[in-house]
A and B are shown apart, each in its own frame.
Chain A
Amino acid sequence: MGRGRARGRVLTRQDFLLLSAGAGAGLALAGCGGSQSDLETAGSGGKSYNGPKVSLAFWNGFTGGDGPYMQKLVAEFSANEKNINVAMNTVDWTEYYQKVPAAVRAGKGPDLGIMHIDQLATNAARGVIIPLDDVANALKLKASDFAPIVWEAGIYNNHRYGIPLDMHPLGLYYNKGVMEKAGLDPEKPPQTKDDYMAALEQMKGKGIQGFWVSPLPFTGVLIWMSLIRQFGGDLYNDDATKATFNSDAGVDALSWMVDVVKQGYSPKNLAQDAEFTAFQNDKNAFMWNGIWNINPLGAVKGLEWGAAPLPQIGTEKAAWSNSHNFVIMNKPGQDPNKIQASKVFINWISKRSIEWAKAGQVPARKEVRDSQEFKSLTWQSEFAKEVPYIRFVPPVPGIADVELASFDQAVNEAVLLKKDPKTALDGATSRANQLLKENREKYQA
């Protein structure tokens, strides 16, 4: 995924947070209903395609090292299915979430695409993508075929909008060289709070700042979003009508990060990707970062590193994650053959997602995760251990722009030591509540 690139990634991240602005009235769209009935008439099955030759436009944002993996899968599919030609078009995620709605609106959109799980509700509400309930039915897909959390997160307004491809959680990368230099066992990354703090203290004794904490969305806010859940809290209440992140859990999580900086385990004032650059250059021992960095780190010559689930700092295990999902674009009057071909394509890629896992992903599909081939992917398997407790944002329209305008700022100001955690989070919470309310009005209007 584009976000997987070590650099230039932050813009992307911010962008799709912003992008989730809207949600709501999607089903009211006439085009939506029309396409739904097209889907139904497109026959069931999805295992094979016998219709005339069709060409599918497939858009995504895999601009990083993940692009070639998807391209390879697409080429393999097109070679297998003589009558389906898939043309893949890649644009940076930032632009993707601006271009796709505009293209769909103009009737020039792709036939199918990929979207992040926190974008599904927004794009469903804006009529960009259509329900896939019958695709799921036709392919006989059920929750037990996937990780339950990722399967359920694709539902908005009682309809399914995404077929999950993968999960990409935050995990712990450890630099073996730095650990060794500090006298730590490089094969034993700390997994509990006590071990973690002891390791940081030991490194500090050797003059090493072992855990660089970023004040920016990538990766500081992802760390905090993991920690608040570890401390037993959550960002929003159940139906995401109220922000709850200034709870004790939220404040404790942020205070822990701020203490890491104050204690000198982390340098102050980190800029974008400084933690990543430092890790590559043997200056940083522990980095909480996404699974998509497996391949970029693997490409660094001479770097000795490993990956593990996040250490448990709070009272329970939890990790932030996002997920790529197949979506079908809203095209009134779409050719039923194309819809049938799309189903075949989605099903085929989903089953072959072991190849996709190699790009630095945990496959959403259980049979692939359980396969011997996946278990032989050392680092991917480490991240996969987090699947039982990964957390997404609630599937509510407008959720991502709330994040950008509220706790992204709070985490930034607290980690930069400009505001104390409680004050920062209180301010952000009231702003988030205001935005949640405005989003409800906007989409229910």
Chain B
Amino acid sequence: MTMQTGARPDVQPAGKPSPSGGRKPTDAGRLTPYLFMAPYLVLFITFIAIPAVYGIWISLHNYDYLLPGKPWVGLGNYVDLFTPGTSTSGPFWQSMEATGKFTLYSVPLLIVIPLLVALILNRKFPGQAFFRAVYFAPYVLGVAVIGILWRYILDPNVGLLNYYLGLLGIEQIPWITALPWAWVSLVGVTVWWTLGFNAVIYLAGLQDIDPALYDAAKVDGANRWQRFLNVTMPGLRPVLLFVVTVTILASANMFGQAYIITQGAPGEETTTAIMYIAETGLRQFNMGVAAAMSYVLALALLLISVVNFAVFRNRED
């Protein structure tokens, strides 16, 4: 908070310098940061903190907000999730597996491809600004828009893609109705849709790297690959940590693409955890079970994030 130490002396009435010469805030000044944070805190407490705690309470009940009886079941909902053969455990772990698969397939691509794009866009060439915009453009579209767009393109029987492949003599590929094609499609669409975001973050990171380091490396005789490994990569490490964490979380929260493009089919193969939780809680009104599932998912994501941070920290040592 350099803000109050830097700015406060100016607002002090003349002739009444604070004892420390304006370096320490007065009592009223101590409130300033909290006042600035208040609007966010109010939203955070109302929409995140309270629901998060209340959700634990809900997850301990057989909960439907419209039914008079909301029987206490203790850890029953959690136990059911971990007991094979109950009505919730099968589909839930199937959906967790789907989420895991999607994350596993999409995250490496969403980390590597945007980096390559950023490296290219970081060079000076004619039309550079135009191409930066082009790569970012899909990201501004909503998931409903890209979902419906791709559903028509990928439709196995009447879609554009199979039509043109057919002209080339390639047999119909069930892009959205069979495995592994459904995953290929979902991952492909997601990479196309969101790579612009990661690319922009990388680009900002690249521009933060001191050009002097490259010059020094050149003087030392490093070739292009060595400069990438020894200057670019270390320089991008904090950005990389951010990108990896955010991309894992985003992929693990995938909902719209599968909901619109494959509708969770074939079978329940592409029904992701968030889809199943939403179905259970908001449509079947089994909110207790859904809340329990959310906490299991949140805990899993927390663990992954912790591992992720640990890995990056070790490298720094």
Contacts and interface: CB of A to CB of B under 8 A. Distances in A.
A299 interface: no
Contact of B174 (A101, A268, A435, A442): A268
A409 B268 contact: yes
A14 B263 contact: yes
Given A18-B279, A18-B284, A267 B157 contact: yes
Contact of A438 (B65, B87, B90, B283): B87
A10 interface: yes
Given A126-B67, A445-B69, A274 B283 contact: no
B188 to A, nearest CB: 16
B153 to A, nearest CB: 11
Contacts of B95: none
Nearest to B279: A18
A347 interface: no
Contacts of A88: none
Contact of A98 (B259, B265, B282): B282
A278 interface: yes
Interface in B51-89: 62, 64-69, 71, 86-87
Interface residues of A, number: 50
B157 A18 contact: no
Interface string A392-409: 000000000100110001
B284 A401 contact: yes
A303 interface: no
Nearest to A101: B66
A18 B283 contact: yes
Contact of B266 (A22, A128, A401, A413): A413
Contact of B265 (A24, A212, A216): A216
A274 B156 contact: yes
Interface in A187-228: 212, 215-216
Contacts of B71: 445
Interface string B150-190: 01001111110000000000001010111000000000000
A126 B66 contact: yes
A418 interface: yes
A25 B178 contact: no
Nearest to B156: A269
B285 interface: yes
A106 B285 CA distance: 16
A401 B289 CA distance: 15
A270 B156 contact: yes
Given A15-B283, A215-B265, A418-B267, A271 B151 contact: yes
A58 B69 CA distance: 29
B285 A22 contact: yes
A25 B279 contact: no
B62 A445 contact: yes
Counting chain B CB atoms within 10 Å of each CB, which of A11, A271, A409, A412 scores highest? A271
B284 to A, nearest CB: 4
B177 A270 contact: yes
Contact of B66 (A8, A128, A431): A128
A115 interface: no
Interface in A273-305: 274, 277-278, 281, 283
Nearest to A410: B267
Contacts of A278: 157-158
A37 to B, nearest CB: 19
A228 B176 CA distance: 28
B68 A28 contact: yes
Given A18-B284, A269-B178, A281 B158 contact: yes
B91 interface: yes
A442 B67 CA distance: 9
Given A126-B67, A215-B177, A271-B177, A21 B283 contact: yes
A29 B64 CA distance: 14
Contact of B157 (A125, A271, A401, A412): A271
Contact of A22 (B67, B154, B177, B267): B67
A19 B283 CA distance: 5
Contacts of B148: 8
Contacts of A14: 263
A125 B69 CA distance: 12
A126 B177 CA distance: 36
Counting chain A CB atoms within 10 Å of each CB, which of B155, B176, B177 scores highest? B177
A92 to B, nearest CB: 12
Contacts of B68: 25, 28-29, 127
B286 interface: yes
Nearest to B289: A438
B284 A105 contact: no
Counting chain B CB atoms within 10 Å of each CB, which of A11, A19, A435, A445 scores highest? A445
A10 B283 CA distance: 15
Contacts of B265: 215-216, 412, 416
A412 B283 contact: no
Contact of A21 (B90, B174, B286): B286
Interface in B243-289: 259-260, 263, 265-268, 279, 282-286
Contacts of B260: 11
A443 B67 contact: yes
A263 interface: no
A15 B154 CA distance: 24
A125 to B, nearest CB: 8
18 contacts: A8-B148, A11-B260, A11-B263, A18-B279, A25-B67, A126-B66, A267-B157, A269-B177, A271-B159, A277-B157, A405-B91, A412-B266, A416-B265, A418-B266, A434-B86, A442-B67, A445-B62, A445-B69
Interface of B: 62, 64-69, 71, 86-87, 90-91, 148, 151, 154-159, 172, 174, 176-178, 259-260, 263, 265-268, 279, 282-286
Q: Which 10 A-B pairs have the closest CB atoms?
A: A18-B283, A21-B284, A269-B174, A269-B177, A126-B66, A445-B69, A274-B157, A401-B284, A434-B87, A277-B158
Interface of A: 8, 10-11, 14-15, 18-19, 21-22, 24-25, 28-29, 97-98, 101, 105, 125-128, 212, 215-216, 267-272, 274, 277-278, 281, 283, 401, 404-405, 409, 412-413, 416, 418, 431, 434-435, 438, 442-443, 445
